[in-house]
Structure 1
Amino acid sequence: MLLVKTLREMEYVAASHIKDAIGDVEIEIRPSGFLGLLIVHCDESLKEKLEEIPEIETIIPVLVECEAKLDEILSKAEVVAEKVKGARTFAIRTKRRGTHDFTSLDVNLDLGDRIRELTGCEVDLNFPDKAVYVEIIGKRAFIGVIDGSEERKKYTPEKVDSRKLFGKISFVQMPYLEDTKAALEIGERIGRAAQAFEIKELIIAPHDYVNAFELEYFIKGVRRGQIARYKIQERAYAREVRKVPVFVRDLYQTARDKRRKRNVLIITDPTGRQISDVKEELVRRIRFADEVVIFAGSRVGIPKGLFRLADFVIDLAPYITFATEQTIPVTLSALLTVYEEDEEARGVIKSL
């Protein structure tokens, strides 16, 4: 038996191609009404043929099927352990669909403990030798074991851990004001971007008196965008997610406070130099900095007087002015790119 995952609404298309590939086998389409799922009643050896079907996202050979009860799932630990034995590490990947009196985390912890006791293997969520999939579909639970090499890894030892860079970036954003509807919308996009990159902090920094109610809408948008992204991260990541702190501080005082010996101050502005012209010095300073502080304007740019306090004034795209909500992703992506290039050139793909 194979558990097959597709994009939603692609189940019937995939089922048709499966039958063309391996014959008229029994296929449960959208079991218990859940989209994006197929249960193919066939021999595991036919898995290779299904891998040629692009409409299929994931294929999990089913080792055992049982009732979707925690005790029942745990009772299969010995069977699962036989498949895991011989590996150094393993991970439990649980996806629960429907209403139950236990959580996916309960399965991960309890089944993981049982398998660890039975095999002596250690848990490694990122690079396991074996991955145990527990797919819970309504009242049924399906358990399969695949080699870790078969997983499409989001993280590999050869990649730079971008969190080490973003985790020391303080982003100072002038608020978008005047139009409350636009302030709410732009604030939401900025909050989502700041949380997506999990930066050290976001500082909302007006440079003068501002309308309190306009600022209220902007901050409300930041909060709304942050929460929306944070909830997605909690569901998507196997690790703990950090909620980005958000502060309000006068722009000039922020610049004074942040101008310390081991901090790097960066201003993004069309009058600055191209990042390619300063990347060697920029990366060297970033690598040894305690904090990287980036200032970004809004409907008006950063006041020119602050340029004297900056270590770098950078024009990320000559002859192009970015929209306010694009500044965080564009700036951080550019910094990560030059940092990765430097790490590769030095032959060091590790933390800062």
Structure 2
Amino acid sequence: MKFLVKTQRGMESVTANYIREALPDAEVWASPMGYSGLVIVETDDRSAEEKILEIPEVERAIKVLFEVPAELEAILSVAEDVAKLIRENETFAVKTKRRGKHDFSSLDVNAQLGAKIKELTNADVNLSWPDKVVQVEIIGDKAYISLLPGEEYRKFTPDKINARKLFRKVTLVQMPYWGDYKACRSFGEKIGRAAQAFEVRELIIAPKEKMDAFELMEFIKGVRVGQESRYQIQREAYPWKVEKVPVSVWDLYQVVRDKRRNKRLLIITDPKGPSLAEVKDKLARDMYYAKEVVIFVGSREGIPRGLFRFADYVVDLAPYMTFATEHGIPAALVSMWEIYEEYSRTREGEE
């Protein structure tokens, strides 16, 4: 039997050596035809898959069912044999990874092989969450065909609640970092990256008093750089359109006046408040129904105590601990999401 083993790029030789130790009689080929992240294993050991998966460097061990020339007609010729392994009441998808130059594309394989299997089985195609995946791995002049169960680890599944339900109505009010120009720039980058990572409704940079214009300028430059770096990654990683988070500057006290006047939910993160566990049920409910959730995050100094009277909640995220400035946004948003998600699931269950 033959296995196509996938690993992190650069780990092929290390992984191959561990496989040779586990399967002394196996033929092991690291980086076939120079393609990284791959190891081909051929062995007669019936427990080979179990032994291979005991190696931490191995990410996946795909058992090859059919090996044919990397030609479209040859790949389609195994459709009948593959169809025997898929029941009519199951859903399936064909996924192809092509390495090398060929006179057909991965989409050609997906479409034509998928159509033929559907015709033979009458099973439905489900590209998002199939019961079974017909995996076609093409390496140079060879095509390896496997049948896999639906993926165990997936980013987007129906049972997960989209975190954007909360974050798209969150406005972050961040006090700027001040002091050394380089430090201002560095902290600005981290804060800009964090705000963009969560795709919040808005980031408001809010000084509490007069401050050095050039220190603020460096901080804002950093925010822009950090935001842009994260935005470019999101554009490549997400299958949907990503927007840049709006960034504005506003006096801290005026933010409180305006948001309070317009009946927005105001949350201040500060060690002087009760722990999140003490208020989570009521806070989660209020966030669920709020039109806008405004979260205030300090920098070097906490949010002025006088503003606590105007907040709906003052919350201590981690008692007896003080977060570094760059950790304020991620700590606050992840904590808020945890209690929001729990409440959302309860609401959905009731409905």
Q: Give the TM-score category using the shorter length.
A: 0.7 to 0.9
CA contact (8 A) 1:161 1:350 kept: no
Aligned position for 1:283: 284
Aligned position for 1:162: 163
Tell me the alpha carbon deviations over residues 51-94 of structure 1, each in whole angstroms, 9 at most, x when there is no partner.
23333111223445665xxxx56984674674667465445656
SS of the residue 2:17 aligns to: helix
Shift in CA distance, 188/87, structure 1 to aligned 2, threshold 3 Å: farther
Instruction: Give, in angstroms, the shift of residue 305 of structure 1.
Output: 4.0
Aligned position for 1:3: 4
Distance in 1 (CA, whole Å) between partners of 2:231 and 2:304 is: 32
SS of the residue 2:171 aligns to: strand
Distance in 1 (CA, whole Å) between partners of 2:103 and 2:187 is: 40
SS of the residue 1:185 aligns to: helix
1:247 is matched by which residue type in structure 2? V
Aligned position for 1:123: 126
Distance in 2 (CA, whole Å) between partners of 1:61 and 1:215 is: 58
Distance in 2 (CA, whole Å) between partners of 1:91 and 1:191 is: 39
Aligned position for 1:249: 249
Tell me the alpha carbon deviations over residues 31-68 of structure 1, each in whole angstroms, 9 at most, x when there is no partner.
3434432122347964344223333111223445665x
Shift in CA distance, 27/297, structure 1 to aligned 2, threshold 3 Å: same
Distance in 2 (CA, whole Å) between partners of 1:296 and 1:74 is: 61
Cα RMSD (Å): 3.7
SS of the residue 2:178 aligns to: coil
Aligned position for 2:61: 59
Distance in 1 (CA, whole Å) between partners of 2:195 and 2:36 is: 32
Shift in CA distance, 140/117, structure 1 to aligned 2, threshold 3 Å: closer
CA contact (8 A) 1:275 1:314 kept: yes
CA contact (8 A) 2:235 2:242 kept: no
SS of the residue 2:29 aligns to: strand
CA contact (8 A) 2:95 2:110 kept: no
Identity of aligned residues (%): 48
Instruction: Give, in angstroms, the shift of residue 322 of structure 1.
Output: 0.9
Aligned position for 2:206: 205
Aligned position for 2:268: 267
Instruction: Give, in angstroms, the shift of residue 297 of structure 1.
Output: 1.4
SS of the residue 1:317 aligns to: coil
CA contact (8 A) 1:263 1:289 kept: yes
Distance in 2 (CA, whole Å) between partners of 1:257 and 1:94 is: 54
CA contact (8 A) 2:62 2:146 kept: yes
CA contact (8 A) 1:262 1:288 kept: no
Aligned position for 1:146: 148
2:126 is matched by which residue type in structure 1? V
Residue pairs, 1:254-333, within 5 angstroms = 254-259=255-260, 263-333=264-334
SS of the residue 1:224 aligns to: helix
Q: Does 1:221 align with 2:211?
A: no
Distance in 1 (CA, whole Å) between partners of 2:74 and 2:248 is: 53
SS of the residue 2:179 aligns to: coil
Shift in CA distance, 116/100, structure 1 to aligned 2, threshold 3 Å: closer
Distance in 1 (CA, whole Å) between partners of 2:263 and 2:133 is: 43
Distance in 2 (CA, whole Å) between partners of 1:220 and 1:92 is: 46
Tell me the alpha carbon deviations over residues 288-345 of structure 1, each in whole angstroms, 9 at most, x when there is no partner.
112211111112332344333321111212332211110111111211222344355x
5+ residue gaps, structure 1: none
Distance in 1 (CA, whole Å) between partners of 2:255 and 2:109 is: 49
Moved more, 200-209 or 330-339: 200-209
Residue pairs, 1:26-175, within 5 angstroms = 26-42=27-43, 46-62=48-64, 63-64=66-67, 76=75, 79=78, 82=83, 86=88, 88-91=90-93, 107=106, 111-114=109-112, 117-118=115-116, 119=118, 121-125=124-128, 127-133=129-135, 135=137, 144-148=146-150, 150-175=151-176
Shift in CA distance, 209/337, structure 1 to aligned 2, threshold 3 Å: same
CA contact (8 A) 2:93 2:114 kept: no
Aligned position for 1:25: 26
Aligned position for 2:180: 179
Q: How many residues are matched?
A: 339
Shift in CA distance, 249/227, structure 1 to aligned 2, threshold 3 Å: closer
Shift in CA distance, 128/321, structure 1 to aligned 2, threshold 3 Å: same
CA contact (8 A) 1:268 1:295 kept: yes
